């Protein structure tokens, strides 16, 4: 059992860290305060290979493994959650979904542009009345010759106003409940498609979040992802990928809280001694360190399974639940350590606290994940084989993507 990062992993770590610290950190306080999403960051992430790192080389990707994706997610969220969200949505929820479920024609049409950042991907599942209860979707898709006509609204969609390619889920047969949901690759330019931004968010203010509206939106039948009725399976498999990056990012946020708290505790003096000498402060930081290292191992365990091409729903759910809960605690304690200064944006910990709350909710709320983990332990939930599993890594040893 080897816990050391490879030289390839360290290269990804170095690239992601330098990009985040040099090109994002100097502007993040202002961008967060103004609720400004810097579209140029996506172009830069594409240039650095971050947007296609774990897609196969045959589709223009970097051919890196899923531990690389975890390392990059951790490093980006150490600076700001909005950066990690890009990886979660563009790679985890969209690109890997097309890799896993797409036809060879769909992969060739979409993955090279997604891998290089010429297209940005997003994921349209949540609706105003459907979040954790996916079967409550109201969006519909009706076959009309060589097209499907989609109608409905999606909300809380990350990158809604900047993405070009969306995985959208809608009912093709509502009488079958979740077995009647299908998935579609929708392009921004399709007639009847529009988007808008959501303002006034508690956190992730430097990221773009919005709504999608589909009004008699005509989608070519060739853009059906998988088969009719497989949408629920597709969505859940995509969420395994997205949750993996959320968990890894939460580890980065915990690390950021440690870094900020250690720095402040060594600089600040109270009662005549450095804050660091107070045992209750030491205790809070010790808890952060414990959670950071434990959650990182949970993430790597899930990544190891993904590298082997094995189902990892349980392990990913556990990592996401544990890491996001721990990041919220760490951010709260970091604010406490900073005292009154932690309550204003002169220091980054107030942003860490606001950002950390979102991850406890999206891509599987803590309540849903807690139930899942309990059901696995009790034998009430077992993973069933799915028609297509995500290719293991390295891809060439698996006979190519989707083999």
* pLDDT above 70 as % of the chain: 98
- For domain 236-398, is the CATH number 1.20.140.10? yes
User: What are the CA-CA distances from residue 294 to residues 153, 286, 318, 328 (Å)?
Assistant: 39, 12, 12, 15
Q: How far apart are CA 250 and CA 203, in angstroms?
A: 14
Coil/strand/helix, residue 188: coil
Averaged pLDDT, 186-200: 98
| Exposure string over 277-300, b if 16+ CB within 10 A, otherwise e | eeeebeebbeebeebbeebbebbb
C-beta separation of 62 from 55 below 8 A: yes
> Where is 273: in which H helix or E strand?
strand 273-274
Q: 276-282: long-range contacts at Cβ-Cβ below 8 A with a sequence spacing of 24 or more?
A: 281/337
Task: Give start and end residues of each alpha helix (H) in 220-278.
Answer: 231-267
Residue 126 phi, psi dihedral angles, 5° rounding: -65, 140
Mean pLDDT across the chain: 96
- The structure's pTM equals 0.97
- Which candidate, 140, 110, 132, places its Cα nearest to that of 122? 110
pLDDT of res. 403 = 28
Identify the burial level of 105 via C-beta atoms within 10 angstroms of its C-beta, where 0-12 means exposed, 13-18 middle and 19 or more buried: exposed
How remote is the C-alpha of 150 from its chain's centroid? 26
Nearest to 351 by CA among 327, 331, 323: 331
Element containing residue 25 per DSSP (H, E): helix 25-34
pLDDT tens profile 83-93: 999 999 999 99
Sign of CA dihedral 181, 187, 193, 194: positive
Q: Does residue 29 surpass a pLDDT of 70?
A: yes
122-231 folds as: Butyryl-CoA Dehydrogenase, subunit A; domain 2 (2.40.110)
The reply to whether 396 belongs to the active site is no
What is the structure's pLDDT at 388? 86
Q: Is the pLDDT of residue 345 over 50?
A: yes
Query: Cβ of 53: how many Cβ atoms within 10 Å?
Result: 24
Count the alpha carbons within 13 Å of 351 in the hemisphere toward its beta carbon.
26
List the domain boundaries for the chain: 7-120, 122-231, 236-398
Poorest-pLDDT segment among 99-103, 153-157, 360-364, 394-398: 394-398
User: Is there a contact between 181 and 152 (Cβ–Cβ < 8 Å)?
Assistant: no
Task: pLDDT band for 402, please (50, 70, 90 cuts).
Answer: very low
Domains 122-231 and 236-398 share a fold: no
Q: Look at phi and psi of residue 148 and say left if phi exceeds 0, alpha if psi is from -120 to 50, else beta.
A: beta
Whether the per-residue pLDDT at 18 is higher than 50: the answer is yes
Quote the CA–CA distance of 104 and 316 in Å, as a whole number. 27
| CA-CA-CA-CA torsion sign (2, 376, 373, 159) | positive
- Selected catalytic residue, list 30, 230, 363, 397: 363
Q: What are phi and psi of 294, to 5 degrees?
A: -65, -45
In this predicted model, what pLDDT tens digit does every residue of 223-267 receive, in sequence order? 999 999 999 999 999 999 999 999 999 999 999 999 999 999 999
Q: What pLDDT is attached to residue 396?
A: 56
The gap between the terminal CA atoms of the chain, to the nearest Å, is: 28
At 240 the pLDDT is: 96
Pairing of strands 121-124, 165-171: parallel
CATH level 3 topology of 7-120 = Butyryl-Coa Dehydrogenase, subunit A; domain 1 (1.10.540)
- Interval 147-164 mean pLDDT: 98
Whether the link from the prior residue into 394 is cis, omega within 30° of 0, is: yes
Contact (Cβ atoms closer than 8 angstroms) between residue 31 and residue 260: no
Q: What is the pLDDT of residue 384?
A: 83
DSSP conformational letter for 56: -
Lowest model confidence (mean pLDDT) among 49-53, 160-164, 181-185, 387-391: 387-391
Question: CA 269 → CA 273, 278, 331, 338, distances in Å?
Answer: 5, 10, 21, 11
Asked whether residue 160 carries a pLDDT value surpassing 90, the answer given is yes
């Amino acid at each position: 059992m080897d816990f050391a990062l490879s030289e390839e992993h360290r290269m990804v770590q170095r690239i992601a860290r330098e990009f985040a610290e040099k090109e994002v950190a100097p502007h993040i306080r202002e961008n967060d305060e103004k609720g400004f999403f810097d579209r140029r960051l996506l172009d830069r992430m594409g240039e650095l290979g971050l947007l296609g790192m774990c897609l196969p080389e045959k589709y223009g990707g970097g051919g890196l493994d899923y531990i690389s994706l975890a390392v990059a997610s951790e490093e980006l969220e150490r600076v700001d959650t909005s950066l990690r969200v890009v990886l979660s949505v563009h790679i985890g929820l969209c690109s890997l979904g097309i890799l896993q479920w797409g036809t060879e024609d769909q992969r060739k049409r979409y993955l090279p542009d997604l891998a290089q950042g010429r297209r940005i991907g997003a994921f349209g599942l949540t609706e105003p009345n459907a979040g954790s209860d996916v079967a409550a979707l109201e969006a519909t898709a009706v076959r009309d010759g060589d097209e499907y006509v989609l109608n409905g609204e999606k909300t809380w969609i990350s990158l809604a106003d900047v993405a070009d390619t969306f995985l959208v889920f809608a009912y093709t047969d509502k009488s079958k409940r979740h077995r009647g949901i299908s998935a579609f690759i929708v392009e921004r330019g399709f007639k009847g498609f529009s988007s808008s931004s959501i303002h006034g968010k508690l956190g992730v203010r430097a990221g773009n979040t919005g709504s999608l509206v589909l009004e008699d939106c005509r989608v070519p039948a060739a853009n059906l992802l998988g088969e009719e009725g497989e949408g629920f399976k597709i969505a859940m498999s995509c969420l395994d990928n997205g949750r993996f990056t959320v968990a890894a990012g939460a580890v980065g946020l915990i690390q950021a809280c440690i870094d900020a708290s250690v720095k402040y505790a060594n600089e600040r003096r109270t009662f005549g001694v450095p804050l660091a000498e107070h045992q209750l402060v030491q205790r809070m930081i010790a808890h952060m360190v414990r959670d950071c290292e434990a959650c990182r191992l949970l993430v790597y365990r899930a990544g190891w399974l993904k590298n082997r091409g094995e189902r990892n729903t349980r392990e990913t759910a556990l990592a996401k639940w544990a890491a996001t809960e721990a990041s919220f605690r760490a951010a709260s304690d970091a604010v406490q350590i900073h005292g009154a200064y932690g309550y204003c944006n002169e220091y980054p910990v107030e942003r860490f606290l606001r950002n950390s709350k979102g991850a406890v909710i999206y891509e599987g709320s803590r309540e849903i994940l807690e139930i899942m983990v309990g059901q696995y332990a009790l034998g009430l939930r077992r993973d069933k084989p799915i028609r297509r599993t995500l290719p293991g890594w390295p891809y060439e040893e698996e006979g190519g993507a989707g083999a």
